[in-house]
Amino acid sequence: MFGEKLRELREKKGLTQKELAEMLGHSSNSYISDIEKGVFLPSKEKLRKIAKALGVSFKELEDMLFEEKLKELGIEEKELLELFREIPRMPKEDKEAIVKAYLKIKRRKQKNGVDNQKSE
* CATH code of residue 52: 1.10.260.40
**For residue 91, with 0-12 CB atoms within 10 Å meaning exposed, 13-18 middle and 19 or more buried, which class applies?**
exposed
- The whole domain housing 66 covers 2-75
Domains in the chain, number? 1
Residue 21 lies in a domain: yes
Residue 90 lies in a domain: no
Look at residues 42, 50, 95, 37 and name the one whose alpha carbon lies nearest to residue 69.
42
> pLDDT digits over 17-45, tens only?
999 999 999 999 999 999 999 898 898 89
| Residues 56 and 63: beta-carbon distance below 8 Å | no
Residue 93 lies in a domain: no
Residue 56 lies in a domain: yes
Residue 95 lies in a domain: no
Helices (DSSP H) in the chain: which residue ranges? 2-13, 17-23, 30-37, 44-54, 58-72, 78-86, 92-111
Residue 104 lies in a domain: no
Q: Please tell me which residue, 48 or 66, carries the higher pLDDT value.
A: 48
Model pTM score: 0.67
- pLDDT at residue number 11: 97
The end-to-end CA distance of the chain, in Å, is 27
- pLDDT at residue number 114: 61
Residue 38 lies in a domain: yes
The type of residue at 89 is R
- Residue 120 banded pLDDT, cuts 50, 70, 90: very low
Residue 32 lies in a domain: yes
> pLDDT digits over 50-97, tens only?
999 999 999 999 988 888 888 888 888 888 888 888 888 899 999 999
Q: Please tell me which residue, 16 or 117, carries the higher pLDDT value.
A: 16
